[in-house]
Amino acid sequence: MFDIKWIRDNPDAFDKAMSQRKNVSVRSSDLIAIDERRRQVIVRLNEAQEKRNSFSKQIGQAKAQKDEARAAELMAEVARLKEFIPAGEAEERAVEKELRDALSTIPNMAFDDVPVGDDESGNVEYFGPNGSPETAAQQRPAKPSFSFAPKEHFEIGVAETNMDFEVAARLSGSRFVVLKGQVARLERALGQFMLDLHTTEFGYTEVLPPVLVRDDALYGTGQLPKFEEDLFFTPHGENRLALIPTAEVPMTNLVREAILAEEELPLRFTALTPCFRSEAGSAGRDTRGMLRQHQFNKVELVSITTPEEAVNEHERMLMAAETVLRKLGLHYRVMTLCTGDMGFGARKTYDIEVWLPGQDTYREISSVSVCGDFQARRMEARYRPAGEKQAPRYVHTLNGSGTAVGRCLIAVLENYQQEDGSVLIPEALQPYMGGLTSIGGK
């Protein structure tokens, strides 16, 4: 969420940033006009309240001195103000809400170094800080080569028997899957492997959060009010709870309404949770296989930092996510999303796209975003800078997948498939598979 004061002071920068976003038509002048009305109401209301308070004090004093006549006189005086104050308060509430509603649907502003573009065709490949295509190619696993035509994940022998879309459809409808046997185990192994990696090598604290959350939490991270149709809700008493679309929601909200000490930062959290998305806008896309499901597992990374550290933390988080793929020997590339392709709360986003030989293409497996104070402002998440008597400042928040477990399963299956329908197990995963070196063999 934007700070209206910032918009007031930087209307041109705001308008320029918004013009680069997709489907955003808001103008700073509209917002400033609301703010103008808001401030006028506040001035009038404050004046009336000041008078009332002053009179009320005098009434108290008069009563203390048993001067009832004087008290009655003052009460008559203040009665006239009473006509305005409740109306003024209601008006202030209304205009505050109007401003908040307007601000809460405005997406974040991209950093200056984010490429400008309308859609994913404007994304730019990223090779790491000070990186080049050559250095990146050295550091990242190479594309595998096959002596046969590689299949898509759901066509591979071991998956055909252990990845059941038909029975899932009978239970739950389309975009669900039932995993069985060694494929289910492989999914579990991947999740454990990723959590262990992030907690032991990158200092993330493991979290097991609720997967049902309130509207407030979703508002905090930016899914509400604008993206309600992407979520699943379940009734709960008079209210409702949402199934989390990502563990970013509960983990980022761990610091909501908190004032942290600077010494506590950065906070780094990781969780393996199921995620639930209605995929309302994705009808007809990726309908085969388990690439796009209503329910999938994901290991998520969340960092809470100072403003100064946020950009460094972004690179660090990207590296943590990349390390998953490096250790698994999966070829990938990293894209910097352009202004038109970025998510609502992000100031800059890197997507990691893993190579899927069966599809003969790269597919997103991780998205790593730095959000600045956008979410912190919505959540009232602050920290007190070290040193004496500093006012609290908003924290900066980051989130990234580390990585999507279901998609990683697909990637392992497609990249390690053998002609006989079996799949080799990457070395890093073998301890999590009871030492197995392959699954689905005869």
Partner RNA sequence: GGAGAGAUGGCAGAGCGGUUGAAUGCACCGCACUCGAAAUGCGGCAUAGGGGCAACUCUAUCGGGGGUUCGAAUCCCUCUCUCUCCGCCA
Which one is catalytic: 364, 380, 384, 393? 364
Which one is catalytic: 185, 214, 256, 292? 292
Residue of 200, 391, 435, 442 that binds RNA (CB under 7 A):
391
Asked if 214 and 226 touch (Cβ cutoff 8 Å), the reply is no
Per rule CB under 7 A, is residue 392 in the interface with RNA? yes
Per rule CB under 7 A, is residue 64 in the interface with RNA? yes
Question: Cβ of residue 376: shortest distance to RNA, in angstroms?
Answer: 12
Tokens at 41, concatenated: 């109401």
**Residue 403, preceding bond cis, omega within 30 degrees?**
yes
Please confirm, yes or no, whether 282 is among the known catalytic residues: no
* Residue closer to RNA (CB basis): 61 or 172: 61
Binding string, 74-113, against RNA, x = CB under 7 A? -x--xx--x--xx--xx--x--------------------
Pairwise CA distance, residues 22 & 25, whole Å? 9
Please confirm, yes or no, whether 93 is among the known catalytic residues: no
Residue with tokens 């004496």: 388
* Residue closer to RNA (CB basis): 48 or 413: 48
Pairwise CA distance, residues 198 & 187, whole Å? 17
Binding string, 347-386, against RNA, x = CB under 7 A? -----------------------------------x----
Question: Cβ of residue 93: shortest distance to RNA, in angstroms?
Answer: 5
Per rule CB under 7 A, is residue 69 in the interface with RNA? no
Binding string, 212-251, against RNA, x = CB under 7 A? -------------------------xxx------------
Residue of 22, 24, 33, 56 that binds RNA (CB under 7 A):
56
Query: What residues contact residue 253 under an 8 Å CB cut-off, 6+ apart?
Result: 213, 217, 220, 221, 379
Question: Cβ of residue 75: shortest distance to RNA, in angstroms?
Answer: 4
Per rule CB under 7 A, is residue 53 in the interface with RNA? yes
Residue of 1, 59, 213, 224 that binds RNA (CB under 7 A):
59
Please confirm, yes or no, whether 364 is among the known catalytic residues: yes
